[in-house]
């Protein structure tokens, strides 16, 4: 089977001095871990926060794209930049992990479709329309007050993404934006890293109606490993002890000066303290897979870990090398090898191929 993780935030870690060639003690994704975890393809997310202006976010996106290209270029014997799902099998046969590019937050597009086309030419194959703030494209799950869903320009963005063959990602979108995308897109849409709101009430998770609509559209929900999205109990524990605020402050300081060893140490200590409270684990991840399958069917579910973008991982899933534990738990619960292969990567690849085929039909 092909194992594909549809979302990790490793490009931002490259700007924080991540060395991909070594097995990092702190850090969820590097090349040794990807190979130990049997990961064949990974979408590296080019993430920009909504707090930046369009020029600032564009500059940051270009820096992350450059850093990702550089690290792949230095490791051409074990990694390859990929832009089409057909490349995964050939790269796997050659002993290489396929690195795809996604863009998390449409702020670097501004209000210029030419920039969207440029990012596509640079290899970006999905766009998460926003992050934790409303932008020129749409409203976010975190705010949701500017457009009441997609903006008029956002509808142009969705249409152009369909024409290009770029996947529309509704993770981080408001509920109204989600429904607008379901209506506006001619191709399947995805959530590259979300969980089920029926099991954990976070606003970033999808309701059963949303999972069903995503499935009916031919899309997928890629289950996120962020403990906040997996369990309300974890959220209460982290907020109660003040650990969440401490970790957020340490992360911001570290991001501002990642070469400072003292700030690095504080960030690592904050991560360690979050690991001392109860965390959801493999069971809870597969509980969300089970629920999404029960609502949308086995063809509508995959995995988008959000590694390197989360302060603390689930218990027993401390980094990408431990991903096979999810498949082991699925086997224990009676999933067939065919069904596991669909969740491991087959479903997302099918959507990717459908989006590409839709583009050809529109050209």
pLDDT tens column, 137-164: 999 999 999 999 999 999 999 999 999 9
The residues, ordered by sequence, that sit 6+ positions from 327 with a Cβ below 8 Å of its Cβ are: 340, 344
In whole angstroms, what is the distance from residue 317 CA to residue 282 CA? 7
Q: How far apart are CA 310 and CA 184, in angstroms?
A: 31
The per-residue pLDDT for range 21-58, each reduced to its tens digit, is 999 999 999 999 999 999 999 999 999 999 999 999 99
Mean pLDDT, residues 121-131: 98
One of 1.10.1040.10, 3.90.380.10, 3.20.20.140, 1.10.3210.10 is the CATH number of 4-231+281-362, namely 3.20.20.140
Predicted local confidence at residue 137, as pLDDT: 98
**By three-state DSSP, how is residue 222 classified?**
strand
By percentage, how much of the chain surpasses pLDDT 70? 100
pLDDT of residue 260: 83
Residue 68 and residue 76: Cα distance in Å, rounded?
12
pTM of the model: 0.96
CA 196, distance to chain mean position in Å, is 15
Q: Can you give the pLDDT at residue 274?
A: 84
Does residue 216 surpass a pLDDT of 90?
yes
Contact criterion met (CB below 8 Å) for 41 and 100: yes
**Half-sphere exposure (CA, 13 Å, Cβ side) for 49?**
6
CA 141 and chain centroid, separation: 15
Rounded Cα distance, 209 and 214, in Å: 9
The model's pLDDT over 278-328, given as tens digits with 9 standing for 90+, comes to 999 999 999 999 999 999 999 999 999 999 999 999 999 999 999 999 999
Taking a C-beta distance cutoff of 8 angstroms, is the pair 195, 275 a contact?
no
Rg, the chain, Cα only: 19
3-state helix, strand, coil in the chain (%, to 5): 50, 15, 35
For residue 244, pLDDT beyond 80: no
φ, ψ at 23 (rounded to 5°): -85, 95
Q: What is the mean pLDDT of the chain?
A: 96
Long-range contacts of 55-61 (CB under 8 A, 24+ apart): 57/105, 57/107, 57/108, 58/108, 58/110, 58/115, 60/108, 61/103, 61/108, 61/119
Domain with CATH 3.20.20.140 in the chain: 4-231+281-362
The per-residue pLDDT for 258 is: 81
3-state secondary structure of 87: helix
Please determine, for residue 241, whether its predicted confidence score (pLDDT) is greater than 80. no
More confident residue, 232 or 238: 232
* pLDDT for residue 25: 92
Instruction: For 180-200, write each residue's pLDDT tens digit.
Output: 999 999 999 999 999 999 999
Nearest to 44 by CA among 99, 88, 96: 99
Residue range 340-354: average pLDDT? 98
Placement of tokens 């982290």 in the chain = 238
pLDDT exceeds 90 at position 84: yes
pLDDT for the residue 308: 97
Helix 175-184 to helix 208-216 angle (10° resolution) is 20
Tell me how far CA of residue 183 lies from CA of 127, 186, 211, 363, in angstroms: 17, 8, 14, 21
Question: How many other β-carbons are positioned within 10 Å of the β-carbon of residue 52?
Answer: 17
């Amino acid at each position: 089977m092909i194992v594909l993780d549809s979302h990790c935030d490793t490009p931002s870690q490259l700007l924080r001095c991540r060395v991909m060639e070594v097995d990092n003690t702190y850090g969820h994704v590097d090349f040794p871990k990807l190979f130990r975890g049997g990961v064949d393809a990974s979408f590296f997310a080019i993430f920009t926060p909504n707090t930046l202006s369009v020029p600032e976010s564009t500059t940051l996106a270009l820096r992350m794209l450059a850093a990702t290209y550089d690290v792949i270029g230095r490791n051409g014997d074990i990694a390859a930049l990929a832009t089409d799902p057909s490349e995964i099998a050939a790269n796997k046969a050659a002993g290489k992990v396929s690195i795809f590019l996604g863009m998390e937050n449409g702020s670097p597009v501004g209000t210029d479709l030419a920039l969207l086309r440029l990012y596509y030419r640079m290899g970006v194959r999905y766009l998460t329309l926003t992050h934790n703030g409303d932008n020129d494209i749409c409203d976010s799950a975190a705010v949701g007050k500017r457009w009441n869903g997609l903006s008029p320009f956002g509808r142009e963005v969705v249409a152009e993404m369909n024409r290009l063959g770029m996947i529309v990602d509704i993770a981080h979108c408001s509920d109204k934006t989600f429904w607008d995308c379901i209506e506006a897109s001619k191709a399947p849409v995805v959530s590259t890293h979300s969980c089920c709101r029926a099991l954990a009430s976070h606003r970033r998770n999808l309701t059963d109606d949303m999972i069903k609509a995503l499935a009916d559209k031919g899309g997928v929900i890629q289950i996120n490993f962020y403990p906040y999205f997996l369990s309300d109990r974890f959220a209460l524990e982290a907020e109660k002890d003040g650990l969440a605020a401490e970790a957020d402050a340490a992360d911001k300081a570290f991001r501002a000066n990642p070469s400072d060893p003292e700030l690095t140490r504080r960030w690592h200590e904050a991560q360690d303290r979050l690991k001392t409270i109860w965390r959801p684990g493999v069971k809870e991840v597969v509980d969300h897979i089970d629920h999404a399958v029960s609502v949308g069917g086995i063809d509508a579910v995959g995995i988008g870990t959000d590694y390197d973008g989360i302060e603390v991982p689930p218990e027993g899933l401390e980094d990408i090398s431990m991903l096979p534990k999810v498949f082991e738990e699925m086997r224990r619960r009676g999933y067939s090898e065919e069904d596991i292969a669909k969740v491991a990567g087959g479903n997302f690849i099918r959507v990717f191929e459908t989006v590409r085929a839709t583009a050809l039909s529109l050209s």
